[in-house]
């Protein structure tokens, strides 16, 4: 069955923040993952509807909200450090209110108010709708807290206000929470059980972003592959992640679609076929492996083996040959031996990751690992192993980037290069950053860029000249048309696979 697109043409709704000095001003600082960035946008939307406006200046703020992360100890340390700075602001302006929201709020609850006298309110990730009420109590002179987790809350009806004003890329949450309980991870305790968002509200949000000129969205969830919307009235309308991806891709072919994060135990061929079928779904998969050793993966409760992971990689390469693959790696998990570590290095070599986030294991209170396993790897060994992992990844990233030299990519321009306003920075479908002289292009444009050089982190390129550009565009049109014809012929076959 083909999923019918039911996108209502919405009245144009701006997703830009309001800056209005006649209203109360909120300053929001966000730490941690992309989900937190998107949550801050939800929070701003709720506050704007309650007579607040945004400020980017602490001195102007009537309210400071810190959206926190608990994933590693040093993330929490940074937030304690920031509170010292906000204490100075509160000394200067005693009526200033300070709130802690997000994962650290959920983890530490009232301890935050007890330990930090300057904190007026604490709200967990499922309590943002109650912020106006909490703020009224705070205004009345009380401290207030709401850290209740919910089994239903997805904020589906709230349209986030985009705090980062680049106007090109936006995050769209499709689900909240996580059911996986990886033994090292605090997320299931701070963000609660997994819930999927109504797909219609996802499509409406994407449509609103199209109307606001956005060119790229990233669908967010702790484990997007387990997205599942159950339609209580009609099982035929149930939607899995591959189907949602397809529905989102169809909203507008000019809108690039990305997603994060995938889970190796759940990513299925349907998702890969959807990626292969729709040109606007970017060819990049972030597939956290965490360790190359099956023994360690079992202790981490990741529910896949090294062999299963490598089989998924082989399938990605088979179905989407030019897909980039990125990952997360933890060095020095409980009981990790030199052999386990070697297994991680060998797996990295075998996959040839384009990019990786790499960390030393940091025990988090109340997780399964903290209760059942001993954090028994000395810090100097963790550091040594992490350095080896980073060194190898730098080499793999450089090799991957060198392979791109001479190729031409569609690059979505999302800002200026960090070094010069004469150069733009943008990203390829594979999510690699490219820097190139800006010529007559604008932020938000797609440019054809030939890669002329690279570092391990960045591709360097030049816009292909107009004549060449025109020839390429003509060729692309012919190819696109051919693909379209072929696609239509094979669509029905592939659609069956997506739905499996």
User: How many Å separate Cα 439 from the centre of its chain?
Assistant: 31
Helix axes 338-351, 379-403, angle to 10 degrees: 10
**By CB under 6 A, which span of 126-134, 157-165, 180-188, 304-312 interacts with ligand SF4?**
180-188
Residue partners of 352: CB distance under 8 A and separation at least 6: 325, 396, 399, 400
CB environment 192-209: b (16+ within 10 A), e (fewer): bebbbbebbbbbbbbbbb
Rule CB under 6 A: say whether 175 interacts with ligand SF4. Answer: no
Please report the beta strands in 134-180, taking only residues with DSSP state E, as ranges in sequence order.
Answer: 144-146, 169-173, 175-176
Rule CB under 6 A: say whether 131 interacts with ligand SF4. Answer: no
* Of 30, 218, 222, 324, the one binding ligand SF4 by CB under 6 A: 222
Rule CB under 6 A: say whether 185 interacts with ligand SF4. Answer: yes
Q: Which is nearer to ligand SF4, 182 or 209 (CB)?
A: 182
* Of 28, 37, 121, 178, the one binding ligand SF4 by CB under 6 A: 178
Residues within window 253-282 making contact with ligand SF4, judged by CB under 6 A: 263
Tokens 């939607």 belong to 239
Of the candidates 313, 318, 345, 312, the one whose C-alpha atom is nearest the C-alpha of residue 329 is 345
Output the smallest distance, CB 247 to ligand SF4, in A.
Answer: 24
Residue partners of 136: CB distance under 8 A and separation at least 6: none
Output the smallest distance, CB 290 to ligand SF4, in A.
Answer: 8
Query: Quick one: 496 exposed, middle or buried, by C-beta within 10 A (0-12, 13-18, 19+)?
Result: exposed
Output the smallest distance, CB 43 to ligand SF4, in A.
Answer: 21
* Of 69, 168, 182, 447, the one binding ligand SF4 by CB under 6 A: 182
Q: Which is nearer to ligand SF4, 193 or 475 (CB)?
A: 193
Output the smallest distance, CB 263 to ligand SF4, in A.
Answer: 6
CB environment 54-63: b (16+ within 10 A), e (fewer): bbeebeebbb
User: How many Å separate Cα 246 from the centre of its chain?
Assistant: 19
Q: Which is nearer to ligand SF4, 190 or 208 (CB)?
A: 190
Rule CB under 6 A: say whether 180 interacts with ligand SF4. Answer: yes
Query: Quick one: 8 exposed, middle or buried, by C-beta within 10 A (0-12, 13-18, 19+)?
Result: exposed
Q: Which is nearer to ligand SF4, 99 or 188 (CB)?
A: 188
Rule CB under 6 A: say whether 223 interacts with ligand SF4. Answer: yes
Q: Which is nearer to ligand SF4, 182 or 358 (CB)?
A: 182
Please say whether the beta carbons of 86 and 57 come within 8 A.
no
3-state SS of 180-218 is CCCCCCCHHHHHCCCEECCHHHHHHHHHHHHHCCCCEEE
Output the smallest distance, CB 178 to ligand SF4, in A.
Answer: 3
Q: Which is nearer to ligand SF4, 239 or 297 (CB)?
A: 297
Q: Which is nearer to ligand SF4, 178 or 389 (CB)?
A: 178
**By CB under 6 A, which span of 153-161, 178-186, 398-406, 431-439 interacts with ligand SF4?**
178-186
Rule CB under 6 A: say whether 168 interacts with ligand SF4. Answer: no
Helix axes 269-277, 241-249, angle to 10 degrees: 10
* Of 113, 187, 334, 356, the one binding ligand SF4 by CB under 6 A: 187
Kindly report the CA angle at 398 between 392 and 403, in degrees rounded to 5?
Answer: 130
As a whole number of angstroms, the distance between CA 186 and CA 87 comes to: 28
**By CB under 6 A, which span of 125-133, 182-190, 365-373, 468-476 interacts with ligand SF4?**
182-190
Question: Which residues on adjacent β-strands are paired with residue 54?
Answer: 26
DSSP 337: -
Beta strands at 408-416 and 446-454: parallel, antiparallel or unpaired: antiparallel
Output the smallest distance, CB 182 to ligand SF4, in A.
Answer: 3
**By CB under 6 A, which span of 175-183, 393-401, 449-457, 490-498 interacts with ligand SF4?**
175-183
Please say whether the beta carbons of 376 and 334 come within 8 A.
yes
**By CB under 6 A, which span of 185-193, 210-218, 271-279, 338-346 interacts with ligand SF4?**
185-193
Residue 314 in tokens? 């082989």
Output the smallest distance, CB 185 to ligand SF4, in A.
Answer: 3
Rule CB under 6 A: say whether 330 interacts with ligand SF4. Answer: no
* Of 32, 188, 199, 461, the one binding ligand SF4 by CB under 6 A: 188
Q: Which is nearer to ligand SF4, 27 or 355 (CB)?
A: 355
Round to the nearest angstrom and report the end-to-end CA distance of the chain. 12
- Which stretches of the chain bind ligand SF4, using CB under 6 A? 178, 180-182, 185, 187-188, 222-223, 263
């Amino acid at each position: 069955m083909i999923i019918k697109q039911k996108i209502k043409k919405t009245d144009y709704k701006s997703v830009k923040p309001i800056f209005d000095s006649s209203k109360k001003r909120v300053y929001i600082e966000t730490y941690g993952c992309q989900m937190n960035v998107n949550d801050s946008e939800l929070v701003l939307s709720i506050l704007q509807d309650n007579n607040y406006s945004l400020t980017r200046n602490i001195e102007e703020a009537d309210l400071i909200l810190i959206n926190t992360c608990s994933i590693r100890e040093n993330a929490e340390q940074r937030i304690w450090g920031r509170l010292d700075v906000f204490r100075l602001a509160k000394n200067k302006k005693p009526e200033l209110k300070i709130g802690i929201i997000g994962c650290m709020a959920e983890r530490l609850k009232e301890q935050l108010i007890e330990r930090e006298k300057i904190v007026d309110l604490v709200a967990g990730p499922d309590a943002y709708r109650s912020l106006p009420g909490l703020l009224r109590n705070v205004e009345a002179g009380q401290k207030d807290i709401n850290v209740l987790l919910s089994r239903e809350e997805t904020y589906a009806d709230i349209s986030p206000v985009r705090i980062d004003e680049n106007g090109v890329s936006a995050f769209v949450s499709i689900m909240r929470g996580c059911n996986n309980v990886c033994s090292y991870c605090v997320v299931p305790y701070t963000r609660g059980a997994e819930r999927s968002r109504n797909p219609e509200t996802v499509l409406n949000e994407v449509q609103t972003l199209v109307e606001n000129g956005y060119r790229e969205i990233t669908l967010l969830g702790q484990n997007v592959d387990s997205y599942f919307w159950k339609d209580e009235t009609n099982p035929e309308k149930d939607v899995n992640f591959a189907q949602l991806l397809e529905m989102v891709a169809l909203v507008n072919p000019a809108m690039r679609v990305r997603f994060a994060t995938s889970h190796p135990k759940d990513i299925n061929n349907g998702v890969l076929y959807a990626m292969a079928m729709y040109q606007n779904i970017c060819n990049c998969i972030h597939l956290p492996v965490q360790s190359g050793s099956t023994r360690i993966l079992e202790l981490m409760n990741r529910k896949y083996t090294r062999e299963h992971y490598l089989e998924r990689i082989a399938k990605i390469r088979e179905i989407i040959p030019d897909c980039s693959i990125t990952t997360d790696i933890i060095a020095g998990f409980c009981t990790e031996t030199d052999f386990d570590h070697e297994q991680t290095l060998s797996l990295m070599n075998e996959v040839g990751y384009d990019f990786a986030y790499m960390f030393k294991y940091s025990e988090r209170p109340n997780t399964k690992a903290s209760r059942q396993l001993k954090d028994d790897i000395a810090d100097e060994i963790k550091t040594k192993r992490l350095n080896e992992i980073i060194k190898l990844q730098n080499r793999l990233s450089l090799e991957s980037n060198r392979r791109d030299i001479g190729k031409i990519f569609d690059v979505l321009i999302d800002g200026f290069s960090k070094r010069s306003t004469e150069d733009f920075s943008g990203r390829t479908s594979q999510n690699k950053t490219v820097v190139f002289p800006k010529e007559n292009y604008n932020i938000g444009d797609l440019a054809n860029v030939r890669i002329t050089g690279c570092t391990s982190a960045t591709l360097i390129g030049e816009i292909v000249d107009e004549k060449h550009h025109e020839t390429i565009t003509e060729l692309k049109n012919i190819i696109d048309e051919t693909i379209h014809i072929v696609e239509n012929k094979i669509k029905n076959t592939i659609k069956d696979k997506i739905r499996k």
